[in-house]
């Protein structure tokens, strides 16, 4: 007679937003205005050609610091209508003002979003009790599931392990985009909660899966989506050799897309492929010829062609 050790029991894995999510850039026209037709074309490409289960709109990669509230709402509505039930739309609504975040969350829900990405309030560095109050206030006022976004190198403050565990008790806080680069902290949260953890760093997706993550919210996945999803599925199937081979193959682009700010190189790469992107808005600057040449080299190193 055998007795299963409780630690050995496999927990049911929840993937509320699937395995592969891309933080989509926001296409602009040549004069810098919002390109809704381009956004629809790009969203369809990312879902149909790159295999995304969900798209994150109005994140930092989507230039949320320089898009207006009205532009954010119009983008969500257009993309949600275009992709229908083929994928989910997760709307970035996080700001460093709780009241403003609640307003954006309400607008996103009304516009058709399926979930919300709420980043740690940045720059004003609230204490952990302030983070609990902020995230709880948003979760209390929306009907949508929430993904917390833990990115201390941008926000200036981490969401502490105990804080995340406490927030996990809220019924609408269901996931975390983890860009903390601390797999030990990730391990403690995934072992103590049912939260669905998504790697927020492309190059750490494979090791993150090993400590309980369920997928990725990617940037290079504008180009690596199919193979990144295959890597995750291979790991899930127990084929760690294939997963490792794909990780190593894609590493030049997982890292190369961040040689400068990620949006800049994604937009340059999309333009090279004839996909909607347009310029970036200041204070970002468009990629230089040298940066585009390096991006081509990084793509080639990953076995992906960039015209």
Paired sense of beta strands 196-199 and 54-57, if any: unpaired
Backbone φ and ψ for 56, nearest 5 degrees, come out as -95, 120
DSSP string across 236-282: HTT-HHHHHHHHHHHHHHHHHTTSS-HHHHHHHHHHHTT-S--PPPT
Which two structure tokens, joined as six digits, stand for 125? 């560095």
- How far apart (Å, rounded) are the C-alpha atoms in residues 191 and 197? 11
Please list, residue by residue across 182-211, b when 16 or more beta carbons sit within 10 angstroms of its beta carbon and e when fewer do.
ebebbbbbbeebebbbbbbbbbbbbebbeb
DSSP string across 151-173: -HHHHSS---HHHHHHHTTSTTE
Which of these is catalytic: 72, 110, 125, 177?
Answer: 177
- How far apart (Å, rounded) are the C-alpha atoms in residues 28 and 57? 14
Which two structure tokens, joined as six digits, stand for 155? 């926000």
The reply to whether 149 belongs to the active site is: yes
Angle between helices 221-236 and 262-272 (to 10 degrees): 100
User: Which residue carries 């990725």 as its tokens?
Assistant: 216
Which of these is catalytic: 149, 197, 198, 235?
Answer: 149
Backbone φ and ψ for 189, nearest 5 degrees, come out as -70, -45
The reply to whether 110 belongs to the active site is: no
- How far apart (Å, rounded) are the C-alpha atoms in residues 163 and 151? 14
User: Which residue carries 């009205």 as its tokens?
Assistant: 70
- Which residues, at least 6 apart from 107, have a Cβ–Cβ distance to it below 8 Å? 69, 72, 73, 76
Would you call 176 helix, strand, or coil by DSSP? strand
Residue numbers annotated as active site: 149, 177
């Amino acid at each position: 007679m055998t007795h299963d050790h409780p630690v050995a029991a496999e927990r049911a894995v929840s993937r509320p937003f699937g395995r592969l999510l891309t933080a989509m850039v926001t296409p602009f026209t040549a004069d810098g205005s919002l390109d809704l037709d381009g956004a629809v074309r790009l969203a369809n490409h990312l879902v149909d050609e790159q295999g995304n289960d969900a798209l994150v709109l109005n994140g930092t990669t989507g230039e949320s610091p320089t898009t207006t509230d009205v532009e954010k709402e119009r983008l969500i509505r257009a993309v949600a209508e275009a992709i229908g039930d083929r994928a989910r739309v997760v709307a970035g609504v996080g700001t460093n003002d709780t009241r403003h975040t609640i307003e954006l969350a309400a607008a996103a829900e009304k516009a058709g979003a399926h979930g919300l990405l709420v980043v740690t309030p940045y720059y004003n560095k609230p204490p952990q009790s302030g983070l609990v109050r902020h995230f709880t206030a948003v979760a209390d006022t929306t009907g949508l599931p929430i993904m917390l976004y833990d990115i201390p190198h941008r926000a200036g403050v981490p969401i502490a392990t105990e804080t995340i565990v406490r927030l996990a008790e809220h019924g609408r806080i269901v996931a975390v985009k983890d860009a903390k680069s601390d797999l030990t902290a990730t391990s403690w949260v995934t072992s103590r909660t049912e939260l669905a953890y998504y790697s927020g760093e492309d190059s750490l997706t494979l090791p993150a899966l090993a400590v309980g993550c369920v997928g990725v919210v990617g940037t290079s996945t504008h180009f690596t989506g199919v193979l990144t999803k295959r890597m995750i599925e291979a790991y899930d199937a127990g084929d760690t050799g294939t997963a490792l081979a794909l990780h190593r193959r894609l590493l030049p682009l997982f890292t190369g897309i961040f040689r400068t700010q990620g949006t800049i190189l994604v937009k340059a790469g999309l333009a090279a492929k004839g996909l909607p992107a347009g310029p970036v808005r200041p204070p970002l600057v468009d990629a230089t010829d040298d940066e585009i040449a390096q991006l081509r080299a990084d793509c080639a190193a990953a076995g992906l062609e960039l015209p």
